[in-house]
């Protein structure tokens, strides 16, 4: 076992493709981080494998800011959503679904899935080393929020060096590092302005085989906090 870094930021996403919220602590469950992506909007009549309304269809979706009324109990908590123009909605208000449907041109409705609505695996990690390499290759600074990562780790190593192994955090919470994360048009969207920059995805695709960050899954439950020491287990 050796120390490989420390946690510098945590984020969870109450609603798929909307803005995330920075966390001072988050509970790791078998299904992922508590309160991460339990809600999404589904395109009505879309019976394909990916029916969700995301930033790919509506860039402005990343500027909608959902918040749990009771952050400590996301399963039971009400959720409020602040739109880019400052209008506040209850997440379940039909007026919010109507607004998103009108903006996207796709009739959409809210859905809740308790275990979380993930593209693949429930937790995502990336290291500062990987982000720094990407910025050098891209020739410009890139906001880490573009990549919608749950756990950002300050480390001199890329997370790819840990694939197939377990990471222990703080008091012993553990993640099993799995496959690299394939990237899509979501990374082209600025989280503040919703403007698209296709060159970001081109850099990831051409120089990083279209991957950035790694998926992970719970190996030992507990709480993860910014500042936690990260240890690579044998």
What is the Cα–Cα distance from 96 to 210, expressed in whole angstroms? 34
Q: Is the pTM of this model over 0.85?
A: yes
Task: Provide the CATH number for the domain around residue 19.
Answer: 2.40.33.20
Domain limits at 40? 2-232
Is residue 234's pLDDT more than 90? no
3-state SS class at 222: strand
Structure tokens at 212: 């950035």
Tell me the DSSP string of 98-135. Answer: HHHHHHHTS-EEEEE-TT---SS-SEEEEEHHHHHHHH
pLDDT attached to residue 112: 96
Among 5-14, 39-48, 103-112, 213-222, the minimum mean pLDDT is found in: 39-48
Are β-strands 151-154 and 2-12 bridged in parallel, bridged antiparallel, or unpaired? antiparallel
Element (H, E) at 185: none
> Cβ of 3: how many Cβ atoms within 10 Å?
11
**Number of folded domains that form the chain:** 1
What are the tens digits of pLDDT across the range 95-128?
999 999 999 999 999 999 988 999 889 999 999 9
**CB neighbour list of residue 147: distance below 8 Å, 6 or more residues apart:** 126, 131, 183, 187, 212, 213
Cβ proximity of 166 and 233 under 8 Å = yes
């Amino acid at each position: 076992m050796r120390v490989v870094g420390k946690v510098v930021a945590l984020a969870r996403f109450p609603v798929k493709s909307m803005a995330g919220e920075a966390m001072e602590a988050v509970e790791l469950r078998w299904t992922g981080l508590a309160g991460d992506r339990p809600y999404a909007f589904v395109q009505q009549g879309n019976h394909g494998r990916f029916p969700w309304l995301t930033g790919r269809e509506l860039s402005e979706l990343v500027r909608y800011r959902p918040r749990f009324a009771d952050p400590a109990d996301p399963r039971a908590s009400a959720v409020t959503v602040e739109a880019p123009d400052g209008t506040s909605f209850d997440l379940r208000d039909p007026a919010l679904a109507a607004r998103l449907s009108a903006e996207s041109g796709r009739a959409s409705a809210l859905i809740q899935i308790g275990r979380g609505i993930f593209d693949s695996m429930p937790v995502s990690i990336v290291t500062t080393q990987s982000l720094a390499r990407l910025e050098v290759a891209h020739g410009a600074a890139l906001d880490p929020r573009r990549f919608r990562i749950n756990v950002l780790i300050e480390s001199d190593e890329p997370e790819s060096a840990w694939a197939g192994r377990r990471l222990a955090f703080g008091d012993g919470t553990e993640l099993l590092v799995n496959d690299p994360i394939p990237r899509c048009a979501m990374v082209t969207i600025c989280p503040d302005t919703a403007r698209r920059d296709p060159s970001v995805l081109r850099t990831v695709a051409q120089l990083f085989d279209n991957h950035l960050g790694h998926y992970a899954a719970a190996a030992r439950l507990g709480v993860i906090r910014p500042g936690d020491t990260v240890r690579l287990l044998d």
